Structure 1
């Protein structure tokens, strides 16, 4: 009787395990990411340039995930570049960036208040918006 009860228990356990199994493997390929920046000055004089140190940190690096940057300037006039010697970026165009540290340079071209938004996106539709006023 003991052997029969043990055998029934093992069969029931195996049955529960098999019912919960599925032939499809659920692989997670989308992970959140964070973008951090160092503080920057609130006001800029015409011709002044500010360095914006940024860090893009994904929760996990997944092959095939791509990150892009775009920006839009609401107030003022200026030029944004990736890297000190990079070309000025065009508003709302997407530019590839890699995870890790990168530096943006903003060059003020007016005495008005400067206000811009930088959006970092991945190819899975996730985004982070950085507002600079």
Structure 2
């Protein structure tokens, strides 16, 4: 009787090994990267601008109120500003900070802020302001002022 029992045990051994291999393979297949929890930190944004005058005189300063509106909230997002003036001459600055240099990148301290543009020429003026975030999202805002001299 012992030999029959030992023979039955030996006959079941390959089945147990096969079951163990199948169980391990199903477990490993179900643990792929698609099941990992993803934390989204890249949120697009919009830039809202309050209306500004259409006309400007040489030496006149125009206030430009801007608000960055996020579609989501990731606390480590940073925002930057750069501008490029392609018609006329003037200076753009953040509150009472020194004027921005064209095409240089500046860190924005807040998501709601005011820029001040001062005309230094008697011709029409045009410039673009680019707002970008630390994830490569970018928005372009164009401004045009007619000469009022």
In the superposition, the TM-score normalised over structure 2's length comes to: 0.71
* Separation (CA, whole Å) in 1 of partners of 2:114 and 2:101: 17
Unaligned regions of 5+ residues in structure 1, if any? Answer: 1-14
CA contact 1:79–1:109 (8 Å) conserved in 2: yes
8 Å Cα contact 1:54/1:101 also seen in 2? yes
Distance 1:63 1:55 in 2: 17
Question: Which is richer in helix?
Answer: 2
Q: 1:75 Cα deviation (Å)?
A: 0.3
CA distance in 2: counterparts of 1:63 and 1:39, whole angstroms: 29
Larger Cα-atom Rg: 2
Give unpaired runs (5+ residues) of structure 2: 1-25, 145-149
TM-score (norm 1): 0.80
Count of aligned residue pairs for this structure pair? 116
> What whole-Å deviation, never above 9, does each CA across 1:70-97 have from its counterpart, x for those lacking one?
00001000000011x1110000111111
Output the CA distance in 2 between the equivalents of 1:26 and 1:132. Answer: 39
Report the counterpart of residue 107 of structure 2 in structure 1. 96
Bigger Cα displacement from structure 2, 70-79 vs 25-34: 25-34
RMSD: 1.9
Report the Cα offset of residue 100 of structure 1: 2.8
Q: Residue 57 of structure 1: which of 60, 69, 82 is its match?
A: 69
Equivalents in 2 of 1:107, 1:95: separation in Å? 18
